[in-house]
A = this chain, B = another copy of it.
Amino acid sequence: MPRVRTKVAREAAPKPSFDRGAAREQREAMILDEAIRFFADVGFAGQTRELARRLGLTQPALYKYFQSKEELIEKVYQRVFISRWKSEWERMLTEPAVPLKDKLERFYLDYARIVVEHNFIRITMQAALAGDRLTSRYVTQVGERIVPRVCHAVREAAGLPPIADGELSARELQTVWDLQGAIIYLAVRHHIYGFAPLEPLETSVRGIVATFIAGAPQVFGELARVDAGETVRKARTGRKSGSSLSK
């Protein structure tokens, strides 16, 4: 029964042999990186043989690192998403005494640099289309940790009273989601539709933030006035809402 013997030996393996393990993980990471590029390119229907070829390996060699294609894809997801969430983002958006414009620009410039990237957006989109959960997890995080904080920041700048996350109106939240959308669409247009950007990423992000800042607080303010009957105006400059521009 050599089978059993092997199994026992493996389970009892006493010395994991430091370097070996590290080297293996490094190798696995290299494969994952190539897999990310590969699947971002051709989609998850891409063949393991082709991936192996790109790595300069034979196809069965992949199975020394991953039990199945499915597991490989799962690890690709994890590597893509986990490595692209920065915990400081939440801090950046709550830092007190930073003017709204600076706060949003700093955050969205950083965020966009991570998110408007070929492999990230393509993997994300393919994963989402395939119904994978991790993608929604990422978007859920944005919805829980980013969007409300931006809302609060805008409310503060618009002179509205602070409220809890749960009390933010759908309208306020959606307005911030629209800002998100404009950022993400930069990535979609470039990396999925394949159109060259019209200008540097930084310029676009600043522009999106500028339009938002010029528009959103006013929208928030109008919401508040509708809700509360004109009580909150201190941050508004007395301009009539519907000037010649909007009518």
Q: Which A residues form the contact surface with B (CB < 8 A)?
A: 43, 45, 99-101, 122, 125-126, 128-131, 135-136, 139, 143, 157-158, 170-171, 173-175, 177-186, 188-189, 192-195, 198-199, 203-204, 207-208, 210-219, 235, 237, 239-240, 243-247
Contact = CB atoms under 8 A, between A and B. Distances in A.
A243 B247 contact: no
Given A129-B192, A212-B211, A244-B235, A178 B182 contact: yes
A216 B213 contact: no
Nearest to A154: B245
How many copies of the chain does the oligomer comprise?
2
Contacts of A101: 246-247
Given A193-B136, A195-B139, A204-B174, A246 B213 contact: yes
Nearest to A198: B170
A63 B239 CA distance: 65
A109 to B, nearest CB: 15
A117 B128 CA distance: 16
B245 A235 contact: yes
Contact of A99 (B45, B99, B246): B246
Contact of A198 (B173, B193, B195): B173
Given A211-B215, A213-B245, 4 more contacts: A43-B130, A181-B186, A212-B215, A213-B215
Which A-B residue pairs are the 8 nearest by beta carbons? A181-B185, A215-B215, A214-B215, A211-B215, A178-B182, A170-B198, A45-B45, A181-B182
A194 B185 CA distance: 17
B207 A171 contact: yes
A185 B180 contact: yes
A124 to B, nearest CB: 9
Contacts of A213: 215, 245-246
B214 A210 contact: no
A183 B222 CA distance: 21
B198 A136 contact: no
A29 B43 CA distance: 28
Contacts of A244: 157, 235, 237
A158 B188 contact: no
A45 B47 CA distance: 12
B139 A189 contact: yes
Contact of A192 (B99, B128, B182): B128
